[in-house]
Structure 1
Amino acid sequence: MVTINSYNEYKAYEGQMIGVSGWHTIDQDQIDKFAEATLDYQWIHVDKEKAENEGPFKSTIAHGYLTLSLIPYLWKQIADVRNVTMEINYGIENFRFGQAVPVNSDVQLQATVKSVTNLKGTVKVLVEAKLLIRDQRKPAYTGDVIFLYHFS
């Protein structure tokens, strides 16, 4: 894990892959809770029997948006950004889902700091986020997340 205390320290990581998170297993309980929270009960996510017998992946799969929602949790395992009075998840850009994440898959986030810009005291950071699936060549997704920070 890297520790970042200021704009200048963040800027030093620009253009670098700064790390990967630990592995996180996406199990059926998490998928079911996400379905409940988002009212997205599509059978490919929640109907184990139908997914095994009729689905293209022969198991249930995680919602794409569930995997995206893991970014803040996994990012905190990569970077400890300190001395901030406010941190905002500002946006996501250019995301592409490369492959489905079957139930009980282990995933981890790989992060590259693409740009760090000081906008009159607000630091805008563009991070390439790649969600890796254990023992798979293609990532689940690749795209850019934007964080805004106000350092104290």
Structure 2
Amino acid sequence: MPRTAHGIADLLSLTGADLGHSSWLEITQERVNTFADATDDHQWIHVDVERAKRGPFGGPIAHGYLTLSLLIPLWSELLGVQDVGLAVNYGLNKVRFPAPVPAGSKIRAHGSVAAVTEIKGGAELVVDLSVEIDGGAKPACVAQAVYRFYS
């Protein structure tokens, strides 16, 4: 169950808050293939299972941008925001993909609030996010996301 913020005033108090971890999410080959179809990125390391087994990662891997896009549902498990009129994914300050996500593995997100700034009509949160791979030594993705919430 995510931490819940009630309104802008509550959001403004979150600087430095550790938001904990999301649940684990399995990255199936079907999900990888669907993402490849949606983005027209059919590189063999993602979709050709047999060739990928002989490739540099020992099997197919998820697209980095698939991992990044999954921050949306994983983020929703970290912080619920109520009593605001509008929430906007404002962008990213930084994104890196330190380790590949093998198809069939599980990932989860960890988040902490780096900064909260009052803006006209609301608040801007800067959140440090890390996508962990179950059993992995390095994160699959590290990102600093910016979210805006308006009254």
Tell me the TM-score range normalised by the shorter chain: over 0.9
The match for 1:103 is 103
State the TM-score, normalized to the length of structure 2.
0.95
Could you tell me which residue of structure 1 aligns to residue 13 of structure 2?
12
| Structure 1, 11-20 or 30-39: larger mean CA deviation | 11-20
1:34 to partner: Cα distance = 0.2
Please give the per-residue CA displacement for 1:24-60, whole angstroms capped at 9, x wherever unaligned.
000000000000000000000000000002x111110
Rounded to whole Å, the distance in 1 between the matches of 2:60 and 2:73 is 23
Corresponding position of 2:118: 118
Match of 2:141?
141
CA RMSD of aligned residues (A): 1.0
Q: Which residue of 1 aligns with 2:29?
A: 28
What SS is found at the alignment partner of 2:30?
A: helix
Give distance in 1, aligned partners of 2:147 and 2:9. 16
User: How does the TM-score come out when normalised to structure 1?
Assistant: 0.95
Identity of aligned residues (%): 37
Write the distance in 2 (CA, Å) between the matches of 1:132 and 1:148.
25
Paired residues, what number?
150
Give the Cα–Cα distance (whole angstroms) in 1 for the partners of residues 94 and 80 of structure 2. 25
* CA apart distance, 1:123: 1.2
Give distance in 2, aligned partners of 1:61 and 1:114. Answer: 30
Shift of 1:63: 0.2
**How far does residue 106 in structure 1 lie from its aligned partner after superposition?**
0.5
Distance 1:83 1:19 in 2: 22
Match of 1:84 in 2: 84
Runs (4+) off by over 2 Å: none
Q: Which runs of 5+ in 1 are unaligned?
A: none
